[in-house]
Structure 1
Amino acid sequence: MGDPLRIGVVGCGVISSTYLETAGRVPDLEVVAVADADPARARRAAETHGVRAASLDDLWADDEIEWVLDLTTPGAHAEVALTALENGFSVYNEKPLCATTAEARQVLEAAAEAGLAVGSAPDTVLGTGIQTARAAVEAGAIGRPVSATATMACAGHELWHPQPDFYYAPGGGPLFDMGPYYLTALVHLLGPVESVQAVARRPREVRTIASGPRAGEQVPVAVATHVTALAEHASGAVSTLVMSFDAPATRAMPIEVHGDEGSMVVPDPNTFDGAAEVRGTSGDWARLPDGAGYRGAARGFGLVDVSRSADRRTGRASAEVALHVLDVMESVIRAADEQRRVPVSSTCVVPPLVPLTG
């Protein structure tokens, strides 16, 4: 194993702790500095995780950094990524890649012109859960895949997040917040999406924060909070996607894939592990042993994967897949708004399977 990938973190909100914990326990990553528009928040993160806090200007000038890890809110992803590229850093964005596909394409064009790389969460798809399921599908465990269902239903993130505003602003909602996990998994399992149909609803105009110093404050809702979509994959399989912040709970499996010779239950794509289960046309469900993916993975393994590539730029948490997933989500909203079937303009190459590692 070579030298660790040296990263600078921009954005020290709630999700940053998970990434910094990963970087602190794996030899593949080294956090050079953390920065935030709120310097006090950067200092708190630095003190908690034993790294150095820096101003944004200092971080942009730090020539020790190879990759910038952008953990800002979706509306800032394009601006941060473009600034990182302008300063000579490759960049890895938290999901979604950007708030819009237009912004994402601008970022990828800038990276190509600069000879730099872009990656994007979610990297949960690189864990043993999804990778083992994918390996089984590719090995013919359920025959030819015909259909899939993907369901995420909860009552809304304002119940636990002290600053939930961005979840209900453009670039948020259950589709853009949670959809990347489910759609990225579906793309790895069944290939890219060619067209979509959808219905979207916004039952409430405001949400009430339930925790933290702003408890009781109302947040305006500017996006659909319940989305049901039908996606046609280039492989011929059809997926049904339900993403909702308007359901107290669900007992539906996160993802199920059905083929002409069997069915598969796929682990939660918002986690890295969990066992897939397979059942043939008769008999009982059987748990699959880990057969592919990074064992013990956590958020940040997209960059671990980059660090282990020959050029330290090529990773399986690819911007190409992230752009396609973003395009699918935008197409879903357009299909719902226009009440028609919408072709998805982009496609992607599914990255190679992760061998069982760790």
Structure 2
Amino acid sequence: MGKPLRIGMVGAGAISGAYLDTLEKLDDVRLTVVTDLDPGRAAAVAGRVPGARATGTLTELVAAPDVDAVLDLTVPAAHAEVALTALAAGKHVYGEKPLATTRADADRVLAAAAASGLRVGCAPDTVLGSGTQTARAAVDAGLIGTPVAATAFMTTPGHERWHPGPEFYYRPGGGPLLDMGPYYVSALVHLLGPVIEVTGAASRPRAEREIGSGPRAGERFAVEVDTHVTGVLRHASGALTTLVMSFDVQATRLPHIEVHGTAGSLSVPDPNQFDGPVELHRSGGGWERLPVSAGTSGAGRGLGLADLARALAEGRPHRASAELARHVLDVMLTLLDAARQGLALPVASACVRPEPMLP
């Protein structure tokens, strides 16, 4: 397919290792430049990749002639700024979720991409793995009949138990929905299509939390966002999804995602993982495990970036698109608005259901 897409990585934190593990195995992309607020971290990451180098600033990185696309692994609050800087310099962008923290910033990114003719992609790309995609293939093949409803659950006691600096999970822009919701809502759009209306409720049972690990263990901090969010999503297809995202559940046996139709039910694996068992319960039968039939098996973070590179070469849309990420962000923010107002609210945005990922 020609020369690989040359990547400049912005942000060399913990998640960068997962991306490096994938990128070094791919012929479609090649890491060339790395920058981070901590020069030592940037140098360490660049040192893992033959031919890559560290640079001091984002401005230097986007000006580099051997950077075609920027991989943004910074904190969510910086995503829009990094994307706009890269687009202004003529570079494609692929970033970690979310696309931005506000609708206005997300719209600025989409407008800049459209004006420049450049591509913007956004995680999660886990939904391109064999788990979600095999489930989607089963839905599309009519194995459960007409989809009627789905359930989606992400419940934990809270990230402060294991994270040594968890405050950002409990500040504006955080919370269980905005933190983990992108995986679940993206999977639901792949399975059932875009969302047109939401209603919900939310609560904040504790005003403070305690750090449970690391050098600051025992310190308490304020909780500034709702930590248990539940809602109903009405898809354009007519299906209804019941969604629960919580940092207040001590233990659970709830499934990650189930999809129910007129002829059967489907058990879908964790959308935060690429692979996992997909099980089908046909009407009048029992549970059976489906063979992998779609998606990329054994994939890792960066699959969406590789798909963007291939899409550029093939002249087709990429699957982990900014339009999908904008819609997912809008669904989540509208759900929080609905919870605060006690109303059912329309979702103003729309997106095209991405093309399936073939094996």
Provide TM-score, normalisation by structure 1: 0.96
Whether contact under 8 Å (1:306, 1:312) holds in the other structure is no
% identity of equivalent residues:
58
SS of 2:30 mapped into structure 1: strand
Residue 332 of structure 2, aligned match among 329, 332, 335: 329
State the partner residue of 2:29: 29
Q: Is the 8 A contact 2:122 2:320 kept in 1?
A: yes
Contact 1:158 1:209 in 2 (8 A): yes
The AA in structure 1 aligned to 2:14 is: V
- 2:13 is aligned to 13
Q: 1:160 to 1:49 in 2, by over 3 A?
A: farther
Q: CA deviation at 1:295?
A: 1.8
| Distance in 1 (alpha carbons) for counterparts of 2:317 and 2:219 | 44
Corresponding residue number in structure 2 for 1:74: 76
Q: Does structure 1 conserve the Cα–Cα contact (< 8 Å) formed by 2:31 and 2:49?
A: no
Shift of 1:111: 1.1
Distance 1:349 1:154, change over 3 A: same
1:222 and 2:203 matched = no
Aligned to 1:267: 269
Q: Helix, strand or coil for the counterpart of 2:144?
A: coil
Moved more, 129-138 or 16-25: 16-25
8 Å contact kept, 1:23–1:30: yes
Could you tell me how far 1:346 is from its partner in structure 2?
0.5
Equivalent residues of 1:8, 1:69 under 8 A apart: yes
1:117/1:313 contact within 8 Å kept:
no
Between the aligned partners of 1:311 and 1:166, the Cα distance in structure 2 is 40
Is residue 187 from structure 1 mapped to residue 189 from structure 2 by the alignment? Answer: yes
Q: Judging changes above 3 Å, is the alpha-carbon distance between structure 1 residues 52 and 220 closer, same or farther for their aligned structure 2 residues?
A: farther
Structure 2 counterpart of 1:342, from 341, 345, 353: 345
Are the equivalent residues in 2 in contact too, given 1:182–1:269 (CA < 8 A)?
yes
Given that residues 307 and 313 in structure 1 are in contact (C-alpha distance below 8 angstroms), is that contact kept between their aligned partners in structure 2? no
Q: Structure 1 residue 40: deviation in Å?
A: 2.4
CA contact (8 A) 1:117 1:314 kept: no
Kindly indicate whether the alpha-carbon contact (under 8 Å) linking 1:129 and 1:276 is maintained by their aligned counterparts in 2: yes
Mapped to 1, the partners of 2:247 and 2:92 lie a distance apart of: 34
CA deviation vs aligned residue, 1:250-279 (integer Å, no higher than 9, x gap) = 211100000010000001100001121001
Matched, 1:104 2:106: yes
Q: CA RMSD in A?
A: 1.5
Cα distance in 1 between the residues matched to 2:148 and 2:260: 6
Q: Is the 8 A contact 1:99 1:170 kept in 2?
A: no
Q: Is the 8 A contact 2:62 2:70 kept in 1?
A: no
The answer on 1:55 being equivalent to 2:75 is no
Tell me which amino acid in the other structure corresponds to 1:42: A
Asked if residue 88 in structure 1 is aligned to residue 99 in structure 2, the reply is no
One-letter amino acid matched to 1:37: L
User: Following the alignment from structure 1 to structure 2, what is the Cα–Cα distance between the partners of residues 46 and 157?
Assistant: 30
Shift of 1:25: 2.1
What are the equivalent positions in structure 2 for 1:106-185 lying under 5 Å apart? 106-185=108-187
- For residue 234 of structure 1, the aligned residue among 216, 225, 236 is 236
Once the two structures are superposed, what CA deviation does each residue of 1:156-178 show, in whole Å capped at 9, x if it has no partner?
12222233232122221110110
Choose from 334, 351, 354 the match for 2:354. Answer: 351
Deviation at 1:311, TM superposition (A): 4.9
Q: 1:205 to 1:12 in 2, by over 3 A?
A: farther
Query: What is the identity, as a one-letter code, of the residue corresponding to 1:23?
Result: L
Q: Which stretch shows the higher mean deviation, 296-305 or 48-57?
A: 48-57
C-alpha displacement at 1:3, in angstroms? 2.3
SS in 2 for 1:161: coil
Partner of 2:323: 320
The yes-or-no answer on 1:45 pairing with 2:38 is: no
Instruction: Tell me how many residue pairs correspond in the alignment.
Output: 356
1:106-158 deviation per Cα after TM superposition (whole angstroms, max 9, x unaligned): 11101111121111000011001111100110100000000000000011122
- Contact 1:152–1:178 (CA<8 Å) still a contact in 2? yes
Contact preservation (8 Å) 1:181, 1:270: yes
Give the 3-state SS of the residue equivalent to 1:150 in structure 2: strand
Distance (whole Å) between structure 2 residues aligned to residue 36 and residue 217 of structure 1: 28
- State how far apart, in whole Å, the 2-side matches of 1:206 and 1:160 are: 16
The AA in structure 2 aligned to 1:36 is: D
Measured after TM superposition, the shift of residue 49 of structure 1 is 5.2
Counterpart amino acid of residue 337 in structure 1: R
Q: Which moved more, 1:228-237 or 1:160-169?
A: 160-169
Contact 2:200-2:342 at 8 Å conserved across structures: yes
The residue aligned with 1:196 is 198
